[in-house]
């Protein structure tokens, strides 16, 4: 495995007028590893993810993708660099079917003059590639022709994550992907995260659930009032340790 991080953010700071949301935060994501980003509400987690995803521009600091520094100026630029984000509010379109959602804004058109001129979708190719992608991630959907709105919460979340993996390939940022899901659906999402790790994807997971951290994460980075207060290997700590970091009772410096 490469020694170069898939993504490295160094000294990231971001303020909103008088509020210092992030102060000199650094984090590394590595291929084949799941990193938890933890912290209480207002700790700066979502702000950091939005900086990495190109939605916010940091006031200071640098972001490196595969060792090369980039100023990520938009979500589209982030996607071009191989960074895909799954936000807590899913960006799936309920009336569209599974394959159409997977290729949303990346539609494949038929070849030839007519296909390019009037934008005829190559639905067979889209469904074949969609089936291959979902199969590779062990995502089971009854039919790719079903509207996403008819799927369960876990299946809808799996489609969103599958799309991120299909187009990101390198780095996937997950913001509370199992929020509001039942026990069985949550387990399916955790299995999917483990599957991504096994395929060499660098995963960042925001969650408030310590059991999920212990289940699938390799490393945990904890923010407290906009600063990084701890960075630990998950196998070396307990749930109580993580809670102590989050509340500010402990820190690793």
- Residue 35: the pLDDT is 98
What's the pLDDT tens digit per position in 183-208?
Answer: 777 787 788 889 889 989 999 999 98
Higher pLDDT, 211 or 251: 211
Give the whole-number percent of the chain exceeding pLDDT 70. Answer: 86
CATH for 167? 3.40.50.300
What's the pLDDT tens digit per position in 11-62?
Answer: 999 999 999 999 999 999 999 999 999 999 999 999 999 999 999 999 999 9
Inside any domain, residue 252: no
- Across 36-50, 81-95, 98-112, 230-244, least confident range: 98-112
Inside any domain, residue 253: no
What's the pLDDT tens digit per position in 208-228?
Answer: 889 999 999 999 999 999 999
Inside any domain, residue 2: no
Confidence check: pLDDT of 64 > 50: yes
Element (H, E) at 166: helix 153-168
Inside any domain, residue 1: no
- Residue 39: the pLDDT is 94
Number of independent structural domains in the chain: 1
Inside any domain, residue 131: yes
Residue 51: domain span: 7-247
Distance CA 188, CA 178 (A): 9
Inside any domain, residue 60: yes
What's the pLDDT tens digit per position in 113-133?
Answer: 554 555 556 678 878 888 887
> Which positions ≥6 away from 51 have C-beta within 8 Å?
9, 12, 14, 22, 57, 58, 63, 72
Inside any domain, residue 218: yes
- Residue 89: the pLDDT is 60
Inside any domain, residue 87: yes
List C-alpha distances in Å: 206 to 87, 112, 117: 10, 44, 43
């Amino acid at each position: 495995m490469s020694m170069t991080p898939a993504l490295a953010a160094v000294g990231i700071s971001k303020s909103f007028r008088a509020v210092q949301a992030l102060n000199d935060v650094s984090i590394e994501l590595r291929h084949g590893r799941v990193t938890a980003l933890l912290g209480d509400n207002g700790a700066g987690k979502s702000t950091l993810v939005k900086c990495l995803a190109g939605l916010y521009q940091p006031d200071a600091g640098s972001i490196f993708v595969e060792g090369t520094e980039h100023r990520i100026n938009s979500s589209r630029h982030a996607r071009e660099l191989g960074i895909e984000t799954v936000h807590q509010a899913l960006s799936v379109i309920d009336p569209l079917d599974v394959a159409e959602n997977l290729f949303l804004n990346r539609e494949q058109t038929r070849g030839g003059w007519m296909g390019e001129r009037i934008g005829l979708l190559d639905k067979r190719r889209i469904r074949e590639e969609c089936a291959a992608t979902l199969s590779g991630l062990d995502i089971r959907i009854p039919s790719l022709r079903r509207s996403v709105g008819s799927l369960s919460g876990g299946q809808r979340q799996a489609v969103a994550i599958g799309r991120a993996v299909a187009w990101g390939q390198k780095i996937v940022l997950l913001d509370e992907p199992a929020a509001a899901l039942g026990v069985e659906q949550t387990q399916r999402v955790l299995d999917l995260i483990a599957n991504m790790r096994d395929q060499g994807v660098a995963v960042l997971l925001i969650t408030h659930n310590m059991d999920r951290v212990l289940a699938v994460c390799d490393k945990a980075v904890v923010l407290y009032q906009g600063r990084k207060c701890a960075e630990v290997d998950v196998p070396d700590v307990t749930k109580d340790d993580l809670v102590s970091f989050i509340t500010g009772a402990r820190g690793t410096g």
